[in-house]
Amino acid sequence: MSSILLALIIGAAFGAVLDRIGASNPNYIGKMLNLTNLHLMKTILLAIGTGSVLMFAGQMAGLVDVGHMSVKSAYLGVFVGGVLLGIGWALAGYCPGTGLVAAATGRRDALAFLAGGLLGAAAYMATYPAVKDTGLLDAIAGGKVTLGSVPGAEYEGVTTLPGDILGIALGLAFIVVAFLLPERIAGEPDPVAAE
């Protein structure tokens, strides 16, 4: 049962943080994606960087179990699926996780998103054999790979660079980009952000 308790604690923390950073608010998603307010982009980049540095530094210190890593396979469908998700993300302002949180915060249009999502997932379940036959799901570049070779991990590296040090370096790079990124790229200056 302890795993259920962890699910409750980490899940609730994740949902609460998504609400507080504005990720479940389509106004902030839309303004991030049309490049008029990159505040949320800075938040996300800092989060990826922070998580990466802590995880790989923790691995090097022997505090984080390398076996907890879970690397997904690379295949052409990852890119195609990313494109589809990107279009729907911009249109609705929700992705799967933030759509759930948004519905819980009282956004009724998010309920329609969840209904569409359940149907979309069902459509994939129905068409999976046909998709598989296209070859879109065939692994490329080694499949489940990391950019460097992480010591002790079950995954191969795209390069032979030490994966933990590379992970920290890339994490720091994400943090630097978060600081350097301007709040706004497109359009006129917008002093007040809407809630």
Q: What is the dihedral of CA 95, 96, 100, 106, to 10 degrees?
A: 20
Q: How far is the CB of 73 from other proteins (least distance, A)?
A: 6
Q: Total residues contacting other proteins (rule CB under 8 A)?
A: 133
Nearer to other proteins, 122 or 152 (CB): 122
**Tokens coding 136:** 């879109």
- Helices in the chain by DSSP H: which ranges? 2-21, 26-33, 39-60, 76-92, 96-104, 109-133, 163-180
Q: Give the phi and the psi of residue 149 in degrees, each rounded to 5.
A: -100, 110
Q: How far is the CB of 77 from other proteins (least distance, A)?
A: 5
Our finding on whether 109 is near other proteins (CB under 8 A) is yes
- Rounded alpha-carbon distances, angstroms, from residue 74 to 55, 97, 135, 164, 185: 22, 22, 13, 20, 31
Our finding on whether 160 is near other proteins (CB under 8 A) is no
| Rounded-to-integer distance, Cα 140 and Cα 151, Å | 22
x-marked contacts with other proteins along 123-152 as a string, rule CB under 8 A: xxxx-xx-xx---x----xx-xxxxx-x--
Q: How far is the CB of 152 from other proteins (least distance, A)?
A: 13
Residue selected from 61, 133, 160, 194 as contacting other proteins according to rule CB under 8 A: 194
Our finding on whether 47 is near other proteins (CB under 8 A) is yes
Nearer to other proteins, 46 or 60 (CB): 46
Reported as type and span, the H/E element at residue 146 is: strand 145-146
**Tokens coding 38:** 């990159």
Nearer to other proteins, 109 or 152 (CB): 109
DSSP state of 66: G
Our finding on whether 176 is near other proteins (CB under 8 A) is no
Nearer to other proteins, 60 or 193 (CB): 193
Judged by CB under 8 A, the chain residues 68 through 107 that form the site for other proteins are 68-75, 77-107
